[in-house]
Amino acid sequence: MEVDRGGCSLFGVMDESGKRFSGAQATSAIAKMQDRENGLGGGFAGYGIYPRFKNCYAFHLLYDNEKAEESTERCLEENYSIEKAEPIPTRKKTTIENPPLLWRYFLTVKETKANSEPGQEDFVVSTVMKINGEIDGAFVISSGKNMGIFKGVGFAGEIGKFFRLEEYKGYAWTAHGRFPTNTVGWWGGAHPFGLLDWSVVHNGEISSYGTNKRYLENFGYRCALFTDTEVITYLFDLLARKYGFGFDVIGRILAAPFWDEIERLPESQREICKALRLAYGSALVNGPFATIVGHTGGIVGINDRIKLRPLVAARKGSMLYMSSEESGIREVCQSPDKVWMPEAGEPVVGRLEGAHG
């Protein structure tokens, strides 16, 4: 008899004090949950991993061919000063077949370009949208400062070893083991998905993808990576960075209560929830999901509004853990101070000491 294990595996860990630790921890935790994946995608995001280039935008690029690489580098050279460009270090793994060309660039926006846009971050977003949407065979995997995304086709534990994540240190890591249900397994379609310093790992299926995609297109976002998870990344960028909403408000938008539940809320909460549903109904993420979002200031975990996908959280001192299963947490923290199951739609927020949001 086939057992439904609830799909993909998620893991997130951070030290809220800002102390950096090896990516080996995330690799071990996600590998513990390998029975939740099928080898068609795994990936990681690390924060604080590039202190030498912390003021540069770190672009991780996936290329299908050298022509795509040449076209992308011309685009970057026109708009950015390239402080360093190099292949992303990897090690040979017999289980990882036919990897694409993997490069990273540490960039600063040319002053003339930055002044022509509302801000540097908007200029970087427009660059990512242009490359992903217009250069055939090139995909920007991550584009934030002092962070990076590493992902590919294979089991997550093997992907972590392929990218030599034990050689990096960061204050926060997220990880994903994929079990795709309605999209193909390819390198760009593995999780996390990123834009600027946002990264998203997700378990579930977004039935509102079409509505969300059309809503985001009104603000200049292009969904080019052929998976529903991409819209969650762009929604966080829009709602948090552009609109300045806190994660409690974002939770009420993405995982909004049902209308009958809103009617039973106290008056002050009822009016807020009504206003958010009316103003941002097209940003409601419908369908079963659990997601962990990383950003420079920390990590955030959230479930759908009726909790159809598992998410467990734990704390040990300044360490915060989130996982699809408690086994992933226990693999790297045998005696947590507290373990709990977050309520449906209730964000679990880890904040870097001194950060806001």
Beta strands in the chain (DSSP E): 9-15, 21-22, 42-47, 57-63, 80-87, 101-109, 138-142, 147-152, 169-170, 172-177, 193-195, 198-204, 289-295, 298-303, 312-316, 319-323, 338-340, 348-351
Residue 48 tokens, joined: 């604080």
Is 273 tagged catalytic? no
For residues 162 and 156, what is the distance between their CA atoms, to the nearest angstrom?
Answer: 10
3-state SS class at 80: strand
Tokens, residue 124: 């970087």
Strand partners, 202: 291
- CA dihedral angle for residue 144, residue 145, residue 146, residue 149, rounded to 10 degrees: 10
3-state helix, strand, coil in the chain (%, to 5): 35, 30, 40
In the set 8, 56, 223, 333, the catalytic residue is 8
Q: How far apart are CA 157 and CA 175, in angstroms?
A: 10
Q: Which residues are catalytic?
A: 8
